[in-house]
Amino acid sequence: MSSKKMAFLTFLFLPCLLLPRASAVPQSTIVGKVVDACTGLPIPNASVIIWDLNRLDKPKKGAGLYFTDSLGNYNATPPYIVTGHSYWLYAYRGDPSAASFDYVPSKSSDKRLLNLEAGETNVSIELVPGAPMVFYGNVWSVESPSPAYRVILSVVAPLSESAPEVCGASYVTNYGGSVDAFFLGFPSNLTVVPAGVKVELRGEAWFFIRDVGILKQSFRIDNDRKSFLLEQGAPAARVQLADYSLRQSSDVVSTYISRISSETDEAQRIGFYVWEERISLSAARGDLNNAMSQLSKGNHI
C-alpha cells in the first residue's frame, strides 16, 4: 500500500479512533437522601436545588431542580452535573409562591461539592420541622426620609443573637435580602422558622440618605416580647415590619431627647436661660408620645 493511501486512510479513520477516548471522559453524579433531622425519617416531595457556581444558570426541573421520591432520595446527573465544577446544594419542602412550608430550608456544607470529583458523590441532608412567616410593609428610620432599600431578617433565639438549636441540625437562618434567599429563589418577605421552639428575628436594614451616605439600623421582631412559637406546617404568620422598625427608631429619638435634656439642665445650673429650650423639649416629647400612640393603633406612615 502506498504511503499516500496510508495517510489518507489514517486521516479518514482518525475521528473514529478518537471516539472511545472521548466517550470515556469521567462523569459525575450527585445523589442523596433528605431526612427529618429529629426523627431520621425520609422526606418525600422535598425540593433539592443545586446551583452550578461555574455557570450560575438558574436551576430548572431536571437541571438543578430535583424532587425526592417516596424514600426521600434524589439523583442529579449529567449533563447538568459536570466533573470539576463547584456546587451549592439546598433542600426544603414547601411552596414559596403560596408561603406554605413544613420544613426549614437547609444548605449542605459538604466540601466535596467544591471541584466535584468523578464518580458518585452522596450528599444527604437533614431538614428541621418548620413553619412560614410573611412580612409586609416598609422598614423605616427616623433618620431617613425614605424606607430601607435592603433588609435582612435573621432567625435568632430569644435574648440571643444566635439561632436556636434544633435536633443538632443546621438550617438556613438568613432571609430577606440575603444570599441564601436569592439562591433559594424566595421572595424577600418570606421567612421559614423552626417549629416547636421559641424564635425571634433580628432585622438589619440599610438606608441611603442624601449628603450622608449609607445608614445601617438593627431592630428586633419579638412578637411584643412574647417571641414566636409556631406549629409545623402552620399557616403563614403575618407580621408588619413598620411596627418594629419604628419602635426601634423611637428609642433613638427618646435617647436623643434625654441627652439634650441633660445638657439643658447643666446649662441652667451654670446660669444660662433655657426656657425656650425646655418648651422645645416638651413639644418633642409630646410628638414622640403621640407618634407611639398612633403606632400602637396600627397607624403607620
pLDDT tens-digit series, residues 8-67: 445 444 454 454 444 556 899 999 999 999 999 999 999 999 999 999 999 999 999 999
- The closest of 107, 103, 105, 48 to 81, measured between CA atoms, is 48
**Upper half-sphere CA count for residue 78 (Cβ side, 13 Å):** 13
HEC letters along 233-291:
CCCCEEEEHHHHHHHHHHHHHHHHHHHHHHHHHHHHHCCCCCHHHHHHHHHHHHHHHHH
pLDDT over threshold 60, residue 6? no
pLDDT value at 81 more than 80: yes
Which stretches within the chain are classed as H helix?
3-23, 179-184, 241-269, 275-296
What's the confidence (pLDDT) of residue 11?
A: 47
277 or 69, greater pLDDT: 69
Name, of 189-198, 217-226, 256-265, the range with top average pLDDT.
189-198
Going by DSSP bridges, is the β-strand pair 64-67/60-61 parallel, antiparallel, or unpaired? Answer: parallel
258 — pLDDT class (breaks 50, 70, 90)? low
% helix, strand, coil for the chain, step of 5:
30, 35, 40
Cell of 119: 464518580
Cα atoms in the Cβ-side hemisphere of radius 13 Å centred on 270: 5
Across the range 260-268, mean pLDDT stands at 60
State residue 100's pLDDT score: 98
Side-chain half-sphere CA neighbours of 92 within 13 A:
31
CA distances from 193 to 23, 128, 186, 222 (A): 47, 9, 14, 13
Predicted confidence at residue 247, as pLDDT, reads 75
Name the residue among 275, 287, 91 with its Cα closest to residue 192.
Answer: 91
Which pLDDT does position 212 carry in this prediction? 83
What pLDDT shows up at residue 3? 54
Mean of pLDDT over the chain: 85
The fraction of the chain above a pLDDT of 90, given in percent, is 68
Other Cβ atoms less than 10 A from the Cβ of 79: the count is: 7
Q: What pLDDT does 133 receive?
A: 98
Predicted confidence (pLDDT) per residue in 229-242, tens digit = 999 999 999 999 98
Residues 9, 11, 17, 21, Cα dihedral to 10°: 170
Residue 251 has pLDDT above 60, yes or no: no
* pLDDT the model gives residue 211: 82
Res 145: pLDDT: 86
- Residue 290: pLDDT band (50, 70, 90) is low
Residues for the chain: how many in total?
301
What pLDDT, on a 0 to 100 scale, did the predictor assign at position 221?
Answer: 96
pLDDT higher than threshold 70 for residue 248: no
Q: Report residue 99 as a C-alpha cell.
A: 408561603
pLDDT, tens digit, for every residue of 147-179? 999 999 999 999 999 999 999 999 999 999 999
End-to-end CA distance of the chain: 93
Say if residue 4's pLDDT is above 60: no
Rounded to two decimals, the pTM is: 0.78
How would you classify residue 288: left for phi > 0, otherwise alpha for psi between -120 and 50, otherwise beta? alpha
Q: 15 φ, ψ to 5°? A: -60, -35
Q: Are 217 and 245 in contact (CB under 8 A)?
A: yes
Q: Is residue 140 very low, low, confident or very high in pLDDT (cuts 50, 70, 90)?
A: confident
Given this model, what pLDDT does residue 143 score? 80
